[in-house]
Amino acid sequence: MASGFFALLDDIAALMDDVVVMSKITTKKTAGILGDDLAVNAEKATGFVSSRELPVLWAITKGSFLNKLIILPIAFLLSTFLPWAVTLILILGGVYLAYEGVEKVMEYFFPHEHKVETVSHEDLSPEEQLKAERKKVKSAIFTDFILSVEIVIIALGTVLGEPLVFQVIVVSIVAIIATIGVYGIVALIVRMDDMGFALIQKSDDQKGLLFNVGNVLVKALPIVIKSLSVIGTIALLLVAGGIFTHNIEALHHVAESIPAFIKDFAIGIVVGLLALLIVKVFRKIIKSLKKQ
């Protein structure tokens, strides 16, 4: 009886060791999407009255957890009964990520005209502020849902050949780490300017270490958000290219002498450009049909 109990403990320890190892691997593979997730949510959680930034972020965080509670069971059912569907969704998601990455690059070089809102949230009535908050929260949660699907599917694709219990533990851990990690860092980012102002106010005669550090934090916020956007865009293309090279046999053996990250980036750009072209053609067809 005792030997059987200790054997069970040994099996559990071995399982958890494998879980830790695979969790690290899958977290690394989903890290690219997390960069874009950080940039998107940092942008959506800023621009409010200072006292409302954290409540808005908390509302988005709760929505993110709900997204994953919806996605995870569906993903595990597909893994059990339609494993080929996981690979299909993974590739389709890769196309979307490549499209989004290329679209951001094109927007940078060929910017579209956008209507600039001249009214700040401070100038809105309490009812209008609440309405604006809800609109941003819904937009952020919808974006999070798309990115969460990719995070879960990429993590699931890493452990697809493993037993279901192993898949559930690893993918769930990755989903929780992704949510806590992303929104924890976003919370720190959106409060950078407030921490900076607090340090500036504590400084003596607007001089000294506290003033300089506070000034850096205040000025760094827009730079950090913009940098995250650039890093996230590059990461999207790398992740997308990696999805194609690992799941499409024909692409896996293309240009094997080239470093993997360069090949993945190039394939991501090519697929993204093709997807962007198809979308533009489709939109033109829809517009022409509406005019008729």
State pLDDT tens for residues 161-187. Answer: 778 888 888 888 888 887 888 788 878
Phi, psi for 253 (deg, rounded to 5): -100, 10
Tens digits of per-residue pLDDT, 25-47?
555 555 556 665 666 666 666 65
- The pLDDT value given to residue 93: 82
- State the Cα–Cα distance between residues 251 and 243, nearest whole angstrom: 10
Question: Could you give the number of structural domains in the chain?
Answer: 1
In three-state secondary structure terms, 226 is: helix
Question: For the packed helices 83-109 and 208-247, what is the interaxial angle rounded to 10 degrees?
Answer: 130
How many other C-beta atoms are found inside a 10 Å radius of the C-beta of residue 116?
5
- State the Cα–Cα distance between residues 264 and 94, nearest whole angstrom: 11
In three-state secondary structure terms, 204 is: strand
- Alpha helices for 110-191 (secondary structure H): 126-158, 164-190
- State the Cα–Cα distance between residues 202 and 219, nearest whole angstrom: 17
Share of the chain above pLDDT 90, in %: 7
Burial (CB count <10 Å: 0-12, 13-18, 19+), residue 143? middle
Q: Which domain holds residue 216?
A: 2-291
The C-alpha angle 76, 82, 84, rounded to 5 degrees, equals: 110
Average pLDDT estimate for 187-207: 78
CA 233 → CA 32, 54, 238, 253, distances in Å? 9, 25, 9, 25
Phi, psi for 82 (deg, rounded to 5): -135, 70
Q: Indicate the pTM of the whole model.
A: 0.69
